[in-house]
Amino acid sequence: MDPGASDQLTSIILPTYNEAESITRMIDDLIHYVPPPVEIIVVDDDSPDRTWEVAGKKGDQRVKIIRRVGTRGLASATVRGILEARGDVIGILDAEMPMVPPLLPEMIGELASHDVVVASRYVDGGRDERPWFRVITSRLLNRMAQLLLGRGVLDYDSGIFVMRRSVLDKVLPSPAGYGEYFIEFIYACRVKGMNVSEVPCVYSDRIVGTSKSDMNIFHFLHLGVRYGMRIITTRLKKID
């Protein structure tokens, strides 16, 4: 048996769209870093660059490909992956972030004493090295979230996290919208008394391909407005 192996299955969900250039490396890194047993669920929104096909060529039984035709959206793809996941531990990653897989052993280890562990830019040791307008927008959104939502969460728009499967017994992510679903999800986890840890992560600009969220500054600012509205509606929403 692999000395790093565990009795628990870890399911890693990768929502993808036009990630053909990065998906193979991401899968290889996940297999290398995540203690076995692991399953990798690629939920692809019928990418024009055929990401789903590139991922399938790995021919690895640990990799499951879901090609969604006629349906698109990060939040709904994430929820689809969660519904398909069989693991005791479930992780949500972005295929364009190669800096995350090396953090996963630490993040998964933190689940021994926490329910959810977030890859965070805003704890000691974390930082954001992406283009300036992404950094400023994220900082403003997180300041707004901390003022309106609080609950000790520093990176409310990370979206990169691992959780115990038992979290889903109390909180289910919303399939609506883009990455703003994470704001509502992590807030609900804290409201319901779950322990959330944040592990430092350095966000850097992607190495290959084009990010789905920074096609241009105006697109990204529009996305920021949507995130801001989600913060407000989350604060007003009654969470039982």
Mean pLDDT of the chain: 91
Q: By C-alpha distance, which of 152, 137, 161 is closest to 228?
A: 137
Question: What CATH number does domain 10-236 carry, 3.40.190.170, 3.90.550.10, 3.40.50.10800, 3.40.50.620?
Answer: 3.90.550.10
Domain boundaries, the chain: 10-236
Buried b (16+ CB within 10 A) or exposed e, 165-178: bebeeebebbbebb
Give CA–CA dist 232/148, Å, rounded: 8
pLDDT at 239: 78
- Mean pLDDT value across residues 130-138: 88
Q: Which amino acid is located at 239 in the chain?
A: I
- Mean pLDDT value across residues 162-171: 97
Is 193's pLDDT higher than 90? yes
Percent of the chain predicted with pLDDT > 70: 91
- Mean pLDDT value across residues 56-71: 95
Give CA–CA dist 42/52, Å, rounded: 7
Q: Is the pTM of this model over 0.75?
A: yes
Is 238's pLDDT higher than 90? no
- 132 vs 15: which has the higher pLDDT: 15
pLDDT at 160: 97
Is 57's pLDDT higher than 90? yes
In sequence order, the β-bridge partners of residue 90 are 11, 163
Q: Which amino acid is located at 209 in the chain?
A: G
